[in-house]
Chains A and B, each alone.
Chain A
Amino acid sequence: MRVGRKEFLRLSGLSLLALAGKKVVNAITSAAQANKPATRPAKRWAMVIDIKRCLQEQGCTLCINACNQVHNVPRFQDRRHEVKWIWKEAFQHVFPPDGAEYMVAELPGAPLPVFCNHCDNPPCVRVCPTQATWRREDGIVMMDWHRCIGCRYCVAGCPYGSRSFNWVDPRPHIARLTPDFPTRAKGVVEKCTLCPERLAEGRPPACVEACKPKAMVFGDLEDPASEVRGLLNTRYAIRRKPELGTRPQVYYLV
């Protein structure tokens, strides 16, 4: 059969159309698949801090000591080199005053424990160029120190000052090494990780375990029967800088 000019043009036009159609169909189906909700994370870890209970013990640093010990957090004399996972900050700095002249007398100046808020919308994760920090499905804002290149974008991005940079080799500044946990290297950022290595064994984070007055409560926000949900249902809680839209997941009971 001889294919004429007209026939040739018609055939090639039709095949091109068919090809385009297939591409469109593919694109639509794959988009539909992508839009399907990913498997919902089974859990959403969060921390609730009972301010009243925390203030019961004057000058208590049990949570800080426990964390520093299990995670090999160095201690520097020079404040410029300071590395912090959990530390105490005065109430008016944790919750900058809204101009209220009169408030509960015991609160101004009261030291509150502060650490990474494990935000639902973490700015540190958004700015990290290597995905060395990311949000796990269970809500933990995790760090992979192997991947950190020390650019410190996350330090600039975090509105809570929860991230510290290792300006010098931290190892000589650790009094007692815990061999199960690595130290960090010079040029790496570190912060609280909510102890995933302990959670994997079914244990609570080190700070929660160490807190004697049980002022720190850790649990799953998606479990309606959990202790954290119970507390949040019955008592008024505030979060740090909620107006920034980071959706922090550390709640302070007032």
Chain B
Amino acid sequence: MRDRALILTGLFVFLVLITLPIWWDAARGTTSKGPDPVLPANEKTCVAPVEYMRTSHMQLLIDWREQVVRSDIRTYKAFNGKTYRMSLTGTCMGCHADKAQFCDRCHNYAAVNVVCWDCHIDPKLARGGAEYARR
């Protein structure tokens, strides 16, 4: 019983260390904060139902890519009967104009690295044009 103080201090330090991530988050105010992607204000329907887009947009994009590049099929008949041009920068970014506010929010949140933008151009950057290019 002579080591009581030592043991309790040790226990306390241990508990603080192991719960540190919780305190850390609480202090930064990031606890239970979602990715909150910003949805376009002027358009209410996407090329597929929201649930499908949420879970499977990557599959849809790959299907579009294969059809456009390899089969030269360039239009997409959507679930609601509308026809869209299959284009990431044209159709998708036409509504979701801000990549940083939409794509990046979730991808950063989920720590997903996409290679789309290695080649495809964020329209915002194109407007910056030469300045971006020289960066």
Contact = CB atoms under 8 A, between A and B. Distances in A.
Interface of A: 72, 134, 136, 142, 144-146, 171-185, 196, 200
A179 B121 contact: yes
B82 interface: no
Interface size class of B (residues with CB under 8 A): 20 to 34
Nearest to A179: B126
Max count, chain B CB within 10 A of own CB: residue among A145, A177, A180: A177
A57 B134 CA distance: 33
A200 B74 contact: yes
Contacts of B119: 145, 182-185
Given A177-B121, A182-B119, A196 B72 contact: yes
Nearest to B69: A144
Contact of A177 (B69, B87, B129): B129
A172 B72 contact: no
A176 B129 contact: yes
Given A177-B121, A182-B119, A185-B118, A136 B72 contact: yes
B27 to A, nearest CB: 39
6 contacts: A172-B133, A178-B126, A179-B121, A179-B126, A180-B90, A183-B119
B45 to A, nearest CB: 23
Interface in B111-135: 115, 118-123, 125-126, 129-130, 132-135
A172 B130 contact: no
Interface of B: 65, 69-70, 72, 74, 87, 89-90, 115, 118-123, 125-126, 129-130, 132-135
Given A175-B130, A176-B130, A146 B74 contact: no
Contacts of A144: 69-70
Contacts of B125: 177
A136 B123 CA distance: 30
A176 B132 CA distance: 9
> What are the nearest 8 A-B pairs in CB distance?
A179-B126, A182-B119, A177-B126, A185-B118, A179-B121, A182-B120, A179-B123, A144-B69
Contacts of B126: 177-179
A174 B133 contact: yes
A173 B130 CA distance: 9
Contacts of A181: 121
Nearest to B116: A182
B129 A146 contact: no
